[in-house]
Structure 1
Amino acid sequence: MAAGSDVLLILVAVLFPPAAVAIMSGCSCDLLINLLLTLLGFIPGHIHAFWLIYKKMKAEERYGPGRYRYVGNGTYESHPGMVAQPAPAYGATSY
Protein backbone atom coordinates (compact mmCIF):
# COMPACT_ATOMS: atom_id res chain seq x y z
CA MET A 1 0.00 0.00 0.00
CA ALA A 2 1.43 3.35 -1.01
CA ALA A 3 1.77 6.03 1.63
CA GLY A 4 0.65 9.59 0.99
CA SER A 5 4.20 10.71 0.31
CA ASP A 6 4.60 7.96 -2.29
CA VAL A 7 1.43 9.07 -4.07
CA LEU A 8 2.72 12.64 -4.11
CA LEU A 9 6.07 11.46 -5.51
CA ILE A 10 4.26 9.55 -8.26
CA LEU A 11 2.24 12.65 -9.19
CA VAL A 12 5.39 14.78 -9.29
CA ALA A 13 7.14 12.09 -11.39
CA VAL A 14 4.29 12.13 -13.91
CA LEU A 15 4.61 15.90 -14.35
CA PHE A 16 8.40 16.28 -14.17
CA PRO A 17 10.51 13.20 -13.35
CA PRO A 18 13.73 15.05 -12.30
CA ALA A 19 11.81 16.89 -9.57
CA ALA A 20 10.68 13.59 -8.03
CA VAL A 21 14.22 12.23 -8.17
CA ALA A 22 15.56 15.42 -6.57
CA ILE A 23 13.06 15.06 -3.73
CA MET A 24 14.15 11.47 -3.08
CA SER A 25 17.91 11.61 -3.61
CA GLY A 26 18.84 15.28 -3.44
CA CYS A 27 21.58 16.58 -5.70
CA SER A 28 23.14 13.26 -6.64
CA CYS A 29 24.24 11.22 -9.60
CA ASP A 30 20.69 9.86 -9.88
CA LEU A 31 19.40 13.38 -10.50
CA LEU A 32 21.95 13.93 -13.27
CA ILE A 33 21.07 10.58 -14.86
CA ASN A 34 17.38 11.40 -14.72
CA LEU A 35 17.90 14.85 -16.22
CA LEU A 36 19.82 13.32 -19.12
CA LEU A 37 17.22 10.58 -19.63
CA THR A 38 14.42 13.15 -19.57
CA LEU A 39 16.24 15.28 -22.15
CA LEU A 40 16.77 12.24 -24.38
CA GLY A 41 13.12 11.35 -24.17
CA PHE A 42 10.44 11.97 -21.61
CA ILE A 43 9.56 8.24 -21.28
CA PRO A 44 13.07 7.08 -20.18
CA GLY A 45 13.03 9.78 -17.48
CA HIS A 46 9.67 8.49 -16.28
CA ILE A 47 10.86 4.89 -16.16
CA HIS A 48 13.94 5.86 -14.13
CA ALA A 49 11.91 7.96 -11.68
CA PHE A 50 9.28 5.25 -11.22
CA TRP A 51 12.04 2.66 -10.66
CA LEU A 52 13.55 4.82 -7.90
CA ILE A 53 10.12 5.31 -6.30
CA TYR A 54 9.58 1.54 -6.41
CA LYS A 55 12.94 0.94 -4.70
CA LYS A 56 12.01 3.50 -2.00
CA MET A 57 8.68 1.77 -1.38
CA LYS A 58 10.46 -1.59 -1.07
CA ALA A 59 12.88 -0.06 1.48
CA GLU A 60 9.91 1.20 3.52
CA GLU A 61 8.44 -2.31 3.50
CA ARG A 62 11.72 -3.92 4.49
CA TYR A 63 13.03 -1.50 7.12
CA GLY A 64 9.92 0.44 8.19
CA PRO A 65 9.08 4.12 7.67
CA GLY A 66 12.05 6.36 8.36
CA ARG A 67 14.33 3.45 9.31
CA TYR A 68 16.44 3.49 6.14
CA ARG A 69 18.79 5.80 4.29
CA TYR A 70 19.53 6.25 0.63
CA VAL A 71 22.98 5.00 -0.38
CA GLY A 72 22.78 5.71 -4.11
CA ASN A 73 22.01 3.92 -7.34
CA GLY A 74 18.56 2.93 -6.10
CA THR A 75 20.00 1.21 -3.03
CA TYR A 76 18.80 1.66 0.53
CA GLU A 77 20.23 0.36 3.78
CA SER A 78 19.11 0.22 7.37
CA HIS A 79 19.72 3.47 9.20
CA PRO A 80 22.65 3.07 11.62
CA GLY A 81 21.49 2.26 15.12
CA MET A 82 18.06 1.04 14.03
CA VAL A 83 17.06 -2.58 13.78
CA ALA A 84 15.19 -3.72 10.69
CA GLN A 85 11.58 -4.73 11.27
CA PRO A 86 10.77 -8.37 10.56
CA ALA A 87 8.68 -9.03 7.48
CA PRO A 88 4.97 -9.51 8.23
CA ALA A 89 3.93 -13.15 8.37
CA TYR A 90 0.80 -14.17 6.51
CA GLY A 91 -1.02 -17.47 6.87
CA ALA A 92 0.23 -20.30 9.05
CA THR A 93 3.49 -19.70 10.87
CA SER A 94 5.68 -22.00 12.95
CA TYR A 95 6.26 -21.25 16.62
Structure 2
Amino acid sequence: MANALSAIVVVIVTIFIPPLGVFLIAGCGADLLINICLTLLGYFPGHIHAFYLEYVYYDRKDKARLGGMAAQQRAPGVYSQNIQTGGHTNYGTVPVQ
Protein backbone atom coordinates (compact mmCIF):
# COMPACT_ATOMS: atom_id res chain seq x y z
CA MET A 1 0.00 0.00 0.00
CA ALA A 2 2.79 2.42 0.86
CA ASN A 3 4.48 1.72 -2.49
CA ALA A 4 1.28 2.56 -4.40
CA LEU A 5 0.71 5.69 -2.35
CA SER A 6 4.28 6.93 -2.92
CA ALA A 7 3.92 6.26 -6.66
CA ILE A 8 0.68 8.27 -6.78
CA VAL A 9 2.28 11.18 -4.92
CA VAL A 10 5.30 11.18 -7.25
CA VAL A 11 3.07 11.10 -10.34
CA ILE A 12 0.95 14.00 -9.05
CA VAL A 13 4.06 16.04 -8.26
CA THR A 14 5.47 15.23 -11.71
CA ILE A 15 2.33 16.45 -13.46
CA PHE A 16 2.89 19.92 -12.05
CA ILE A 17 6.71 20.08 -11.71
CA PRO A 18 8.56 17.36 -13.68
CA PRO A 19 12.05 18.07 -12.24
CA LEU A 20 10.76 17.73 -8.68
CA GLY A 21 9.32 14.30 -9.50
CA VAL A 22 12.69 13.23 -10.93
CA PHE A 23 14.48 14.59 -7.86
CA LEU A 24 12.25 12.51 -5.59
CA ILE A 25 13.26 9.23 -7.25
CA ALA A 26 16.75 9.96 -8.60
CA GLY A 27 18.18 12.60 -6.29
CA CYS A 28 20.54 15.27 -7.52
CA GLY A 29 22.45 14.07 -10.57
CA ALA A 30 22.57 13.79 -14.34
CA ASP A 31 18.95 12.67 -14.69
CA LEU A 32 17.76 15.75 -12.80
CA LEU A 33 19.92 18.09 -14.90
CA ILE A 34 18.65 16.50 -18.13
CA ASN A 35 15.07 16.85 -16.96
CA ILE A 36 15.52 20.50 -16.01
CA CYS A 37 16.96 21.22 -19.47
CA LEU A 38 14.13 19.32 -21.20
CA THR A 39 11.52 21.13 -19.13
CA LEU A 40 13.07 24.51 -20.02
CA LEU A 41 13.02 23.53 -23.70
CA GLY A 42 9.36 22.61 -23.48
CA TYR A 43 6.96 21.44 -20.85
CA PHE A 44 6.06 18.13 -22.57
CA PRO A 45 9.62 16.82 -23.19
CA GLY A 46 10.25 17.22 -19.46
CA HIS A 47 7.12 15.21 -18.71
CA ILE A 48 8.01 12.43 -21.12
CA HIS A 49 11.48 12.08 -19.61
CA ALA A 50 10.20 12.23 -16.03
CA PHE A 51 7.48 9.64 -16.58
CA TYR A 52 9.96 7.34 -18.36
CA LEU A 53 12.28 7.51 -15.35
CA GLU A 54 9.39 6.85 -12.99
CA TYR A 55 8.24 3.88 -15.06
CA VAL A 56 11.73 2.35 -14.98
CA TYR A 57 12.09 3.03 -11.24
CA TYR A 58 8.78 1.49 -10.17
CA ASP A 59 9.04 -1.40 -12.64
CA ARG A 60 12.45 -2.34 -11.29
CA LYS A 61 11.32 -1.80 -7.73
CA ASP A 62 8.52 -4.33 -8.24
CA LYS A 63 10.85 -6.80 -9.98
CA ALA A 64 13.40 -6.50 -7.18
CA ARG A 65 10.67 -7.13 -4.62
CA LEU A 66 9.74 -10.30 -6.47
CA GLY A 67 13.39 -11.37 -6.81
CA GLY A 68 13.86 -10.84 -10.55
CA MET A 69 16.64 -8.23 -10.67
CA ALA A 70 19.69 -10.48 -11.08
CA ALA A 71 20.00 -10.51 -14.89
CA GLN A 72 18.49 -7.11 -15.63
CA GLN A 73 20.23 -4.91 -18.23
CA ARG A 74 20.70 -1.19 -17.72
CA ALA A 75 17.80 0.93 -18.94
CA PRO A 76 18.86 3.20 -21.82
CA GLY A 77 19.05 6.91 -21.04
CA VAL A 78 18.98 6.43 -17.26
CA TYR A 79 22.06 7.57 -15.37
CA SER A 80 20.91 7.25 -11.74
CA GLN A 81 21.88 4.02 -10.03
CA ASN A 82 18.87 4.46 -7.74
CA ILE A 83 16.54 4.26 -10.73
CA GLN A 84 18.47 1.41 -12.37
CA THR A 85 18.05 -0.74 -9.25
CA GLY A 86 14.57 0.41 -8.26
CA GLY A 87 15.91 1.92 -5.06
CA HIS A 88 17.53 -1.32 -3.90
CA THR A 89 21.20 -1.48 -3.02
CA ASN A 90 23.41 -4.54 -3.23
CA TYR A 91 25.92 -3.90 -0.49
CA GLY A 92 28.81 -6.32 -0.58
CA THR A 93 28.02 -7.71 -4.02
CA VAL A 94 29.34 -6.98 -7.48
CA PRO A 95 26.73 -5.33 -9.72
CA VAL A 96 25.91 -7.11 -12.97
CA GLN A 97 26.83 -5.01 -16.02
Q: Distance in 2 between matches of 1:34 and 1:24?
A: 12
Corresponding position of 2:90:
80
Structure in which a larger fraction of residues adopt strand: 1
Kindly report which structure 2 residues correspond to 1:55-66, keeping only aligned pairs within 5 A, or say none. Answer: 55-64=56-65
Aligned residue pair count = 78
* Gapped regions of structure 2 (runs ≥ 5): 70-79, 92-97
Q: Percent identity?
A: 36
TM-score (norm 2): 0.69
- Cα deviation for residue 8 of structure 1 reads 0.5
- Cα deviation for residue 80 of structure 1 reads 1.4
* Gapped regions of structure 1 (runs ≥ 5): 82-95
Q: Which has the higher contact order (CA 8 A, sep 6+)?
A: 2
SS in 2 for 1:6: helix
Q: Which has the larger radius of gyration?
A: 1
Q: Distance in 2 between matches of 1:10 and 1:21?
A: 10
Runs of 4 or more, structure 1, over 3 Å off, are none
TM-score (norm 1): 0.71
The answer on whether the counterparts of 2:39 and 2:46 sit within 8 Å (CA) in structure 1 is: yes
SS in 2 for 1:3: helix
Q: Distance in 1 between matches of 2:39 and 2:85?
A: 24
Kindly report which structure 2 residues correspond to 1:1-95, keeping only aligned pairs within 5 A, or say none. Answer: 3-64=4-65, 71=81, 74-76=83-85, 79-80=89-90
- Cα deviation for residue 11 of structure 1 reads 0.2
Structure in which a larger fraction of residues adopt helix: 2
